[in-house]
Each structure stands twice: as structure tokens, then as C-alpha cells.
Amino acid sequence: MARTVAAAIRGALLAGEPRDKVMAARAVARDWRLGRLVFAFDVAMPPAPARPARPELLAPSRMPKRGRGQSPRGRIALFHALAHIEFVAIDLALDMAGRFGAAMGEGFVADFLSVAADEAMHFALLDRHLRALGSHYGELPAHSGLWDAADETRDDVAARLAVVPMVLEARGLDVTPMTLERVRAGGDETGARILERILDDEIRHVRFGANHFAAVALQRGETAGELWKALVSRHFRGGLKPPFNDSARQAAGLSRDLYAALAC
């Protein structure tokens, strides 16, 4: 009997070790693309994904300051933080597809499994770069709050889309160009090329979120802008902080009128 897409996604979410999760996420996306998985949701998603023993996860308030990333240790801290973001992003994309795919349809599943594969590739590139710098993922502590957005929005696909791709990933569009410039100015051309690749891919990821969110809003008979503002105000506590990368956000389907009203 052919394996279901839900079972494959659940298996990837429960892969804890970084290499295992990367391989599992890429395999699910590949098997879906090649028609090897049945569109069926016969198992539930786990309440939380498996995690490796390291890095140690700390509350945001306990995270050490990492500076601007110019010293060797500063560069390691920067790329470790980025690797952790991408590692958790694998699970965010997998959970999006597995938790809401039955109601949202095959196109939704295809989009977010492709996101999961991209995030797995980003993580692998960053971890390899960390190793070239004399470190590895897990050596430093990491932020524990990234999964909270998923847990907070586990019962509403609109809220999940509003917060994860349209706020958290969109924030990456704002900060990555400045980080890229600092990395390149420090002579790390390999790191800069990795960040360029991530930025290009994240524009597409945010666009997936914005497009599916607009479709949900239409189905609910609400305007996308008003629904997004209401859901972000309810489910996201961090506030939207400028400066914004308006051109990248526009390319991703986010108009300035949408997010400027919530800027703080």
C-alpha cells in the first residue's frame, strides 16, 4: 500500500537529529512531487517536532548578545543563529502542510513541502559553513521561542499563514540584506552567497503564504487586509518593527498599506 502524505510528514517531524530531519524533509517533498504519496490524512501531526539534544534552547531574554558578527566568534554566533532559524523553519513548513493540508488541498501541500525542502537545503548550507568556520550547529545555545508561533496558531490556518510566512518570514526579507552586507564587508563571500540564496527563496515562501491567506480570506467572506491585521494583533506579540524591505515585500505580495498600519 502506498504511503500517505500525512504519515510521511509526521515521520519527518519526528526526526530529531539535524541530518535525519534534512534528509526526511527533502524525501517527503521529492516523493510528493513524483507522485509516490497518497493525498490522505490518516495520522495526526505531533504536538511538537522532535529536537536534537543540542543546541540548548533558552528563553529569548536569556540569549547572549552576539554583536555584529565581525570577529571570528561573532561570525560563528551569527551563522549559528541563522542555522537554528532555518532548522525550525523546516518543521514550520512541514507542520503547515500536514496540519492544514487536508482542508486546503493538494496545491497547498505542494507549496509548503517545497518550502520545507528549501529550508532543509538552507540549513545544510549554513551548517556546512559553520563547520568551515570551525564550529557546528548545536555548539551554541539557541532561541526557544520560534516554535511558539506554530503552537499558538495550531487551530487556525489563517492565523498560521498570517503569522509564520507573512510576519516571521517577511521579517527575514527586512534584515537579511543588511546582514548580507556586513558579512560581505567582513570578507566572507561564501556566507554572503548563502544569504543571497536564502533571500531569493524566502520571497517565494512569503508569496505562498500571502496567496493562500488571500484565498482563505475570500472563502470566509472577509477582506485579506482586515483579517490579517486582526489575526496578527491577536496572535503575534512582538510588533512589526521597521525598517521594512518594501521592494522585497512587494515582490512577495505584501503591500505597504498592509503592514505599515501595524508598524511600531
User: 159-204, pLDDT tens digit by residue?
Assistant: 999 999 999 999 999 999 999 999 999 999 999 999 999 999 999 9
Give the model's pLDDT for residue 57. Answer: 86
**Is-contact 233 149, C-beta < 8 A?**
no
- CA 88 distance to own-chain centroid: 7
* pLDDT bucket at 151, cuts 50 / 70 / 90: confident
Q: Kindly list the distances between the CA atom of residue 61 and the CA atoms of 25, 65, 142, 143, in Å, as whole numbers in the listed order.
A: 31, 10, 11, 9
**Is-contact 90 114, C-beta < 8 A?**
no
| Domain ranges (residues) in the chain | 1-38+67-144, 147-264
- What mean pLDDT comes out for the span 149-164? 93
pTM of the model: 0.95
Pick from 45-54, 57-66, 125-134: least confident = 57-66
User: 94-118, pLDDT tens digit by residue?
Assistant: 999 999 999 999 999 999 999 999 9
